[in-house]
Amino acid sequence: MDTENTRTERDRSSATDRPDPVPAAEPGTAAGTVEEGPRSRRFPGLARVAGLLGGTWRRSALLAVVCLGAVLLVSRFVVQPFHIPSGSMEPTLRTGDRVLVNKLVYGPDAEPERGDLIVFDGTGSFVREGAAANPVQEAVRGAFAAVGLAEPAETDFVKRVIGVGGDRVVCCDKEGRITVNGTALDERYLHPGDAPSDVAFDIVVRPGTLWVMGDHRSDSRDSRDHLGDPGGGMVPVENVIGRADWIAWPAGRWGSLEGTDAFARVPDAPEGSLAS
């Protein structure tokens, strides 16, 4: 028997069966540890989830921007929320109400009518021209006001149209009622206990302007308070923002704002007064 050959073969087999030696650790690395690869390589599922979440946030942000832009466009040109800051229009509108102002109702062929509840910019009629405000602050405030999250500008007002161009509006007749073109008004929308007016006046509304008053006459600063100002308290039609048509908030007061028949019997203004 060739014992040398047998030993050699056995030794070769034994060497093959032994596990490979553990490589020596790099300097500064604990023995027996394996160098870690990138986290995304070790946990591919985590990388996919992170990618999906990142895409979701980007889509959500883009959707929010688009929605905000759409709301601002609608508010600018179609319907704008308006916060009622005082009780000058009670009981029709209460402090804190939010109304929706219809901006499409008026145009070259459709001007405000007697009895309409209008929102208008009082600059130059109810408020004197002042220094220009900070444009950035005004832009931010305007954006928040456009969605009903901020107070309206100090120059914005809501009142009821009592007289249009050419009308003669007088306070008061023997029974204490306001007359328009000689016809007494039955103003059932007035605040309970209020007189039609504590201020006597007799005016003819200039063409292109409006005579406006609040429903809570004893708590309203309106055209009567600006009789001595330039413009005589009359609001230019071009300054009208729109008509208040709906109450949107609070929830218990949702609904449309009904018109009034108080002016149904008022005749048109004489032709001569419209040209004056």
**From start to end of 53-205, where are the E strands?**
79-83, 98-102, 117-121, 156-163, 168-171, 178-180, 183-184, 201-204
Dist CA 123 CA 99 (whole Å): 21
Dist CA 217 CA 198 (whole Å): 8
Residue 244 and residue 93 in contact, taking contact as beta carbons nearer than 8 Å: yes
Beta strands 168-171 and 178-180 are: antiparallel
Positions annotated as catalytic residues are 88, 159
Dist CA 101 CA 81 (whole Å): 6
Dist CA 235 CA 76 (whole Å): 21
Dist CA 227 CA 12 (whole Å): 119
Dist CA 133 CA 79 (whole Å): 25
| Cis amide prior to 67 (ω within 30 degrees) | no
Beta strands 79-83 and 156-163 are: unpaired
Question: What string of H, E and C letters represents the secondary structure of 195-254?
Answer: CCCCCCEEEECCCCEEEEECCCHHHCCCHHHHCCCCCCCCEEHHHEEEEEEEEEECHHHC
